[in-house]
Chains A and B, each alone.
Chain A
C-alpha cells in the first residue's frame, strides 16, 4: 500500500499561502568513502508571521536542513535533492547570483554563537551598515544611520555608541541582538534562527525570545526556529516539526504536540526533560529514559530509525520505514503504531 507523497493537505489547516515550502529535501554528504544521509525526505511549510520550530537532538539533521534552505552547504561534498520554494520560486535551481540576493534580503539567518559569525575587526555598526548598503543601495553614511536605528529596534541601549564598538566589547546577549539587527535590517520574509539562545544565560534568553516575538509581530517575518530545547519550542512555536535521524517523525501545532504527542520519540523526549515545578507536583521521581543511542547516519537505515529504541516497535517497524501520515487535522506522525500509542496514552 502506498501512502500519498508526504501528506500535503494537513498544512492547509493553517491559513494563507506558504511563504516557504520545503518538499522531500534530502542531503547526503560524502566523507572519505562514506556517504552520510543527513537529511532524508524532509517536508514542511511556513506562512507569514508564523513560527515553525524544528526540534531534534544532535545528528537529527535540523541544522543541515536550515543550511540547505539557503544553500550554504559546501557544494562539492553535499548532494541536495528535493525542492525548496520561496513564494513559488524554486531555490534549488536558482543561480548563485540570485541566491546572494535572497540571502539576507528575503531569507536571513542567525546562529548559536554570534561571535563566530561577526567580523572581529569591524565595528558592529559598520557590519550592519554593510548589509544595508548591499541590499538597499544606501550610501555609506545613510547606511550607518540605518544601522544605528536597527540597533535601537533590537533594544540595544545607547545604540549610537554601541555601533562604534567591536564585537569583543559586547556581552553575549548584546552580540546576539546585533546579529538579529543585522538579520532583520532588510526586513526578510523568513528568519532562520539556529539555536539562537543556546549559548545564553536564561535571563538573557528570555530577553532575546521576547525580542524575536516582538519583531515577528511587528514585521510579519516568519521564523524557522531550530532548537533542541522543548521549553523554547513551547514558548515560541505555532507549529513544530520533530526530527529524528534525518527525518521528520511528527508535525503538528505546538498545542497539539505537547498535549497529545503521536510519535513515541516525541513522547519519550517530553518525558525525559525535567520540568520546572516538578517538586511541587510531587513528581521528582525518575525521569523517563529513551534507551540506547541515536543511530549512525553512515549506514543505511532499514525500517523506522527509532525502532531500536522504541518500546512499541514491532517486526514491521524494523523492516519498513513508516510514512509521515495525517492522524488528526493538522497532525502528522510517522509511526506504524500511532494508533496503539494513542490508545495507551489517551
Chain B
C-alpha cells in the first residue's frame, strides 16, 4: 500500500500557501471559479462576467490571509463563494480536510458552523426587528447548542468578549452606534465557535477612530480562539496591519500571493506596485514638497469583456508584446510566494526582457 500523501497541488497559489503555513491548513480553496451570466438584452447575447476565475489558496488556524483589489476584482464574490452563499461553478473548497464544495443544503448547515462571515455594513446584515441578544442567540438555537438560562449566559459572555454590555442585549440594532453594530456582527459570527471567519470589508464603513477599535478586537479574538481570517478589503494599509499573507486580485484572478512583509517590502507584480504607490500616506513630509504619485493610467477594464492575455496589460507600465497574447499563469516566486506576470515571475516568458 502506498502512503496516502496529500496530492501535489496543481496550482502555484496553493503550493505557495502550503509552503508558507506551519500547520495543516484549515481552509483550502483550489481552482475556484464563479461566472455570472448576464441577462441577454434586446440585441442578443448577454455574455458572462468572470467574477472569480481559478483562485487557489490555503489558510491555517490563527492566520489571516488578506485579499486586496479594486472594485470589480472579484474579492467579495470570492468570499461569498468560499462561504457557499454563492455556488461555485468549478473548483473545490475544503474545510478542516472535508470537501464542502458539493455538500447538499441540509448537510451544509452543520458544515458551515465552522466558517462564519462578518459583513461590511452591519446595519443591513442585522435583523432590525430582533433584539441584539436574540441576534447572537439565533445561531445557537438553529444549531441546537444551547437553550434557556445557559443560552442567555453564553450570549452575555459573548457580548462582554466583544466589548458590548449586558444591557445592550435588550436593545435593537438601530440603538447602537456603527462600531457597536460591528461588534454585534462579530459576536454573532463567533457564537458557534467557528475556525474560519470570512470578513468582507469589516471596517470600511466605520470612522477611523472606531475602525481601530474593531481591528484591535479582531486581533485579540484571533489570538484567543486561533481564528483564521479571510480578510477582504480594498484598504492596503488595513490589510498590511491585520494580515500575515496577502493575495492581490485583479479582474477575478490572484496576480500575486505573498507573505505580508515580502509583498510590502518588494512587490513583484506591477499591479501590486501601482496599488501601493497610489495609497496616500498619512505621514509628515517637508513643506512644499509633494509626493510624486505613481499614476496608473485608465480604469479597471470591464470583467464582461476582459483584455486578452494578461488582463492588466492595458494599464501596465512594463507590458511586453507577449502580455497581450498569452495569459500568465501564477508561478512560484520564492518561499511562500507566487506571481502571475510574464516579466516579473522568475520563470516568466518575458523574464529576459526585464
Residues of A within 8 A of B (CB): 57-58, 171, 173-174, 201-207, 209-210, 213, 228-235, 253-255, 258-259, 268-280, 284, 286-291, 293-294
Nearest A residue to B276, CB-CB: A276
Q: Are the CB atoms of B264 and A279 closer together than 8 Å?
A: yes
B287: Cβ under 8 A from any A Cβ: yes
Contact partner of B282 (CB less than 8 A), chosen from A57, A206, A270, is: A270
What mask results when residues 176 to 209 of chain B are scored 1 for a CB within 8 Å of chain A, else 0? 0101100000000000000000000000000111
A291 to chain B: closest residue by CB: B213
B residues apposed to A, CB below 8 Å: 70-71, 177, 179-180, 207-213, 215-216, 219, 234-238, 240-241, 260-261, 264-265, 274-287, 290-291, 293-296, 299-300
Can you offer 28 A-B residue contacts whose CB atoms are under 8 A?
A201-B70, A205-B280, A206-B277, A206-B293, A209-B280, A210-B293, A229-B280, A229-B282, A233-B282, A234-B281, A235-B281, A253-B287, A258-B284, A259-B284, A273-B237, A274-B235, A277-B264, A278-B241, A279-B240, A279-B260, A280-B261, A287-B212, A287-B215, A289-B212, A289-B216, A290-B209, A290-B213, A293-B210
Residue of B with least CB distance to A202:
B278
Q: Is the CB of B70 within 8 A of A276?
A: no
Chain A residues near B294 (CB-CB < 8 A): 206
A215 to B45, CA, bound (A): 43
Contacts of A280 in B (CB 8 A): 261, 264-265
Extra pairs beyond A270-B282, A291-B213, A293-B180 (15, CB < 8 Å): A201-B71, A202-B275, A204-B70, A205-B278, A207-B296, A228-B207, A228-B208, A273-B282, A275-B237, A276-B281, A278-B240, A279-B240, A279-B261, A287-B241, A289-B213
Considering the complex, give the chain A residue whose CB is closest to the CB of B209. Answer: A290
Contact A203 B212 (CB under 8 A): no
Report A249 CB to chain B, min CB distance, Å: 13
Q: In the complex, which residues of chain A have a beta carbon less than 8 angstroms from the beta carbon of B286? A: 255
Q: Which residues from A are CB-within-8-Å of B276?
A: 276
- Minimal Cβ-Cβ distance residue in B for A274: B241
Alpha-carbon gap, A207 to B234, bound state (A): 17
The residue of chain B having its C-beta at the shortest distance from the C-beta of A57 within the complex is B207
Question: Nearest Cβ distance between residue A128 and chain B, in whole angstroms?
Answer: 20
Is the pair B278, A286 in contact by a Cβ cutoff of 8 Å?
A: no
Residues of B within 8 A of A174 (CB): 299
Measured in the bound complex, the distance between the Cα atoms of B256 and A46 in whole Å is 44
B208–A201 CB distance below 8 A: no
